[in-house]
Structure 1
Amino acid sequence: MSENQNLLAEQRRALILDEVRRRGGVRVNELTRKLGVSDMTVRRDLDALARQGVLEKVHGGAVPVVEASTHEPGFEAKSGLELTAKEDIARAAAALVAPGSAIALSGGTTTFALAHQVLDVPDLTVVTNSVRVADVFHAAQRVAGPRPGAATVVLTGGVRTPSDSLVGPVADQAIGTLHFDTLFLGVHGISVEAGLSTPNLAEAETNRRLVQSARRVVVVADHTKWGVVGLSSFAALEQVDTLVTDSGLAEDDRAEIAEHLRVVVAGREESGSAGADS
């Protein structure tokens, strides 16, 4: 299958998932009309999304999965979702990274995309509790060989989660001794009431330490994270300086978030009155 075909499938599946979540369910024949593709193509897309655990197939269509607040999808399940949005967010967030700075990248598929975007920023020190993020820098340096200005990567250690983050007392102790200019933080969920949250209690504590050790906190999250609440909250919106998101976030939601912090939307910027750092 060609790269273009893969991209079209990814875009189509993102549209299907948005439709299922927005409407609470959808029928195959409705999707074929909306997307202009065959029944077989739609059914293959539904099969793929069902394997990722983000929707449930029913007779003639699909419904959203009602996830418990303790459910934590694995890295592979999340990596196939909202790919275009994550790439847009990563490019916008990379513009906030200054050469020679110390940054932290938490675990997550959006921070993983961001890691690829900052490989050429000179003289970075990168603190991360993500095995996947560390591997991005390691692979790039292995291919390019030693070069001036290459990033120094500090991997915290800890116990590995389903999303390939390292958490727990070892990670917490390491992070607590460090200070970085900017934290780029991926989240499971974000809302006005619950703030930033995750289904993993140990990860919540590690994320608290990351937030405490950062001079500036930048959350990188696509529009599907808004309104999602995990088991444990680890930061209030007022502790966040900037949210970098994609254009799929509704205007009303952007306005609500902008009352608490600065919002950057996939290439264009909106600043809220509270928490803004502009």
Structure 2
Amino acid sequence: MLTNPRSDRVKAVRALSRRSVRSRSGEFVAEGPQSVREALRHRPDAVRDVYVTPEAADRHPAIVDAARAAGVTVHDTAPEVLAAMVDTESPQGLVAVCRAVDRPLDEVLDGLPERALVLVLTHVRDPGNAGTVIRGADAAGADAVVVSDASVELYNPKVVRSTAGSLWHLPVSVGAPVTEILDGLRARGVALLAADGAGTTLLPEVDLDRSHAWVMGNEAWGLPEPLRAQCEEVVRVPIHGHAESLNLAMAATVCLYASAGARHPDGRGDTPVGTEAGSDVGVGGRG
């Protein structure tokens, strides 16, 4: 069992909380049972090491078994040692060191299906917002997420936590300039829809029965005008009550689910949500 919170191994894991170290090593930390479980389920090749406390091992034996079955080294870790590895106040007893899973932009765009749904994030600064929107894209059945070089880094620990495992479920590209992203989508026949509070087209009026990408901008000031001008339509979510506006995560989820409704008019998903103890299924569920 790892018992020394000042060991070089612990310091190396903790160092992955810094972007410079993540960029240099090509590795990042996934924390908590949901994220680690989904990493092992969908991308076991990306998981290098798993650290688990005795209590977490007792609560989540299937995760430990899955890691060992995938050939991942599992380290029994004292709670105070695991706490020293991460920056959260109340660690959940499971940490995985993972290799980056993003793909080159052209690879992601060339892999899109004929009737694609894509989420583009640019100038998004808040890690929690970015992760929550990626989770919403996954839930709505998006085919890809593309994060521009002007947005928060994908492997920021708060982004990874906020995706609740969705980071492992769909193709993601990061780091390209937003103009290159939009040009690439347009060249592949994907309609560009800017979601912005200044939009003149209401969401129910938009044709979503085609390949399209939702382009989401900054939490405070939305998309810059030059980017709005590159989009086919600038779309606004109608407000029927007295709220001034929706925040980024809410607006993105509404738009993505409008797209999901066009793709799945019966309103049903394909398979039931898993019910393993500790799963974070939230308030939604597949029918």
What TM-score do you get using the length of structure 2 for normalisation?
A: 0.32
More strand by share: 1
Greater relative contact order (CA < 8 Å, ≥ 6 in sequence): 2
